[in-house]
Amino acid sequence: MKTETISKKNGHSLKAFNVEDIGDDHLFTGLETPMKPNAFEMSNTEKKERISILFSEIMDVLGLDLNDDSLQGTPDRVAKMYVEEIFSGLDPKNKPKVALFDNKYQYNQMLVEKNITFYSNCEHHFVPIIGKAHIAYKSSGKVIGLSKLNRIVQYYAKRPQVQERLTNQIANELKTVLNTENVAVIIDAKHLCVSSRGIKDDTSTTVTTYYGGEFNTASKIAELQNYINN
């Protein structure tokens, strides 16, 4: 059975995991989404054409009749969906452009936007992750348009993901954009790779959190949780 080393320190591997274990246990190998150096040499049109051909082969191997009226257009539809929709967050050209505004209201308490619905896909099985993100920040002198918070969540969600990475990527983007450590991200999501296959547990959800700066205290965490739960 193939194994891969996923963590090293001073040239020595800390632990080697079976490739299947990485997927089944939802481990991830780093903060950045794993991308090839030449990931953007191919145009989106070329990518869609290539994906359509390859997906046709998958359907053919599964024994599906591609001459059927209902299935003929499926490879093209899947290719378009992959490139333009559910994996569009892989392309940095789709990163939301964010404008900051002076905090003229002098509002110096936490701002919370909760229940941001997102759809992502598990990078281990390419099946959906469906959840809600809750975001909070405290202004360092600038504020961001509320819709941009949603767009940042959607951008990082629209790629093959692991929930822990998604949480940290959103948090790091907010810290960079807002120029503050005072951000918090909470994600509560359902993984169809858990509910529809494998253990087939349809009731569990996964919660991941990031508390930075002033949010990383018991009192602020409790205050934030109170806002989210009410």
Express each pLDDT in 162-194 by its tens digit.
Answer: 999 999 999 999 999 999 999 999 999 999 988
Residue 13 has pLDDT above 70, yes or no: no
Q: Which residue in the list 154, 161, 163, 169 is annotated as catalytic?
A: 163
Q: Which residue in the list 124, 134, 169, 173 is annotated as catalytic?
A: 124
Q: Is residue 112 situated within a structural domain? A: yes
3-state secondary structure the chain: CCEEEEEEECCEEEEEEEHHHHHHCCCCCCCCCCCCCCCCCCCHHHHHHHHHHHHHHHHHHCCCCCCCCCCCCHHHHHHHHHHHHHCHHHCHHHCCCCCEEECCCCCCCCEEEEEEEEEEEECCCCCEEEEEEEEEECCCCEEECHHHHHHHHHHHHCCEECHHHHHHHHHHHHHHHHCCCCEEEEEEEEEHHHHCCCCCCCCCCEEEEEECHHHCCHHHHHHHHHHHHC
> Does residue 12 have an active-site annotation?
no
How deeply is 59 buried, as exposed, middle or buried, from its count of CB atoms within 10 A (0-12, 13-18, 19+)?
middle
pLDDT reported for residue 31:
87
pTM of the model: 0.86
pLDDT reported for residue 25:
58
> Does residue 123 have an active-site annotation?
yes
Q: Is residue 129 situated within a structural domain? A: yes
Residue 26 assigned to a binding site: no
pLDDT reported for residue 11:
43
Residue 10 has pLDDT above 50, yes or no: no
Query: In total, how many domains does the chain have?
Result: 1
Residue with tokens 């099946």: 127
Q: Which residue in the list 134, 154, 169, 191 is annotated as catalytic?
A: 191
Give the residue numbers spanning the domain of 109.
97-229
How deeply is 119 buried, as exposed, middle or buried, from its count of CB atoms within 10 A (0-12, 13-18, 19+)?
middle
pLDDT class for 216, splitting at 50, 70, 90? very high
Q: Is residue 162 situated within a structural domain? A: yes
Q: Which residue in the list 123, 154, 161, 169 is annotated as catalytic?
A: 123
Distance separating alpha carbons of residues 200 and 24, to the nearest angstrom: 12
Q: Is residue 178 situated within a structural domain? A: yes
Write the CATH number for 149: 3.30.1130.10
Q: Is residue 34 situated within a structural domain? A: no
pLDDT class for 19, splitting at 50, 70, 90? low
**Residue range 25-34: mean pLDDT, rounded:** 74
pLDDT reported for residue 175:
97
> Does residue 26 have an active-site annotation?
no
Q: Is residue 54 situated within a structural domain? A: no
Residue 134 assigned to a binding site: no
**Residue range 107-128: mean pLDDT, rounded:** 95
- Assess contact for 206 and 188: CB atoms under 8 A: yes
More confident residue, 13 or 102: 102
Q: Is residue 174 situated within a structural domain? A: yes
> Does residue 125 have an active-site annotation?
yes
> Does residue 124 have an active-site annotation?
yes
pLDDT reported for residue 179:
95
**Residue range 54-71: mean pLDDT, rounded:** 98
pLDDT reported for residue 24:
58
Q: Is residue 86 situated within a structural domain? A: no
> Does residue 134 have an active-site annotation?
no
Nearest alpha carbon to residue 89 among 159, 136, 141, 187:
159
Q: Which two tokens stand for residue 201?
A: 């547990």
pLDDT reported for residue 5:
39
Share of the chain above pLDDT 70, in %: 87
**Residue range 73-97: mean pLDDT, rounded:** 97
